[in-house]
């Protein structure tokens, strides 16, 4: 039995579908059983679980052979990972845990709360004695879908500076996860999942403009101004501050390295940003 947490999210939902395509039995952990995606068949067992409730986690992980541990960005995300790991230990079955972290987790950068949470979770996983693997993807191409309105207006604004970032497609991350979940030989490995090249935001703006049919200009903004704009737009302060920390990490060149781990795990080269943009041209074109 393969258990997938975060099963209805951008990557988790694709992992569930990919596992079913391979004929695997899947238990999908969700907060709301009514949120079951329409495409899931009867081979997906949907179980409601709360990361803060040990009893619900014990029930959800009972009989698990492999666990894909993916938690949402949240002030308590490190504790959520710890709670799932502890519940996995309590099963007594020594399930293998595949931790969905983020690129940079091995570097342990200071001042980036999203990464620090995964560093804490990884350390707890190592201390727990269960077999483990870490998937550490870079930022997703799909994050730019949330900027479609700005792209249609001819602009791309971010506190990202001029450093390249090796963005990766969420579809490749899910395929890599399915490969690790269904094959052996990954114990103790940390796979950093990136796209095929590092791209500056100027280059991304050009590629988005090509599919949108208009000139798109990148405007780099100072972190303080970007944070003020997000807070004025109603963002949760903890999440907004964390995003600024992450983009400061990007601007400092912390996310530009390219690896071959996607191809190693999936057997094909990672999708480029141009591939992603073309696949979603209608969204950016409006």
pLDDT tens figures, 49-70: 999 999 999 999 999 999 999 9
Query: Over the stretch 171-188, which tens digit does the pLDDT of each residue have?
Result: 999 999 999 999 999 999
Q: What does pTM read for this prediction?
A: 0.95
d(CA 286, CA 278): 13
Count CB neighbours of 127 within 10 A.
9
Q: Fill in the DSSP letter of residue 271.
A: P
Query: Over the stretch 256-274, which tens digit does the pLDDT of each residue have?
Result: 999 999 999 999 999 999 9
What is the C-alpha R_g of the chain? 19
Per-residue pLDDT at 164:
97
d(CA 103, CA 100): 10
Per-residue pLDDT at 31:
85
Same fold for the domain at 2-137 and the one at 141-167+195-256+271-286? no
User: For the domain 2-137, what is the CATH superfamily, name and number?
Assistant: NAD(P)-binding Rossmann-like Domain (3.40.50.720)
Q: For the chain, what percent of residues have pLDDT higher than 70?
A: 100
Please, what is the average pLDDT of the chain? 95
Give 135's strand partners.
Answer: 100, 191
Per-residue pLDDT at 275:
96
Q: Which segments of the chain have a pLDDT < 50?
A: none
- Asked if 65 and 93 touch (Cβ cutoff 8 Å), the reply is yes
Q: For the chain, what percent of residues have pLDDT higher than 90?
A: 93
User: Would you kindly state where each structural domain of the chain is located, as residue ranges?
Assistant: 2-137, 141-167+195-256+271-286
Nearest in space to 76 (alpha carbons), one of 30, 130, 113, 35: 113
Per-residue pLDDT at 41:
87
12, 71, 90, 200, 212 from 160: Cα distances, Å? 27, 25, 42, 9, 22
User: For the domain 141-167+195-256+271-286, what is the CATH superfamily, name and number?
Assistant: UDP-galactose 4-epimerase, domain 1 (3.90.25.10)
Nearest in space to 220 (alpha carbons), one of 181, 241, 250, 184: 250
């Amino acid at each position: 039995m393969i258990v997938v947490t975060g099963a209805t999210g951008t990557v988790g939902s694709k992992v569930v579908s990919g596992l079913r395509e391979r004929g695997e039995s899947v238990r999908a952990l969700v907060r709301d059983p009514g949120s079951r995606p329409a495409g899931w068949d009867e081979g997906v067992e949907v179980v409601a679980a709360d990361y803060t409730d040990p009893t619900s986690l014990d029930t959800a992980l009972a009989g698990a052979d492999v666990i894909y541990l993916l938690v949402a960005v949240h002030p308590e995300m490190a504790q959520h990972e710890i709670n799932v790991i502890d519940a996995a230990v309590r099963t007594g079955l020594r399930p293998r845990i595949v931790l969905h972290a983020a690129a940079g987790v091995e570097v342990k950068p200071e001042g980036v709360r999203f990464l620090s949470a995964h560093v804490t979770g990884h350390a707890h996983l190592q201390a727990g004695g269960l077999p483990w693997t870490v998937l550490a993807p870079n930022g997703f191409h799909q994050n730019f879908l949330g900027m479609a309105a700005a792209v249609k207006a001819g602009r791309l604004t971010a506190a990202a500076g001029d450093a390249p970032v090796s963005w990766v497609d969420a579809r490749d991350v899910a395929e890599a996860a399915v490969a690790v979940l269904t094959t052996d030989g990954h114990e103790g490995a940390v796979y950093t999942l990136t796209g095929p090249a590092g791209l500056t935001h100027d280059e991304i703006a050009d590629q988005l403009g090509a599919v949108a049919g208009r000139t798109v200009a990148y405007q780099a903004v100072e972190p303080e101004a970007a944070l003020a704009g997000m807070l004025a737009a109603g963002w949760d302060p903890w999440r907004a501050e964390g995003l600024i920390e992450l983009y400061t990490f990007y601007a400092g060149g912390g996310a530009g390295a390219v690896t071959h781990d996607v191809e190693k795990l999936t057997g094909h080269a990672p999708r480029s940003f141009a591939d992603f943009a073309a696949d979603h041209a209608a969204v950016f074109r409006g």
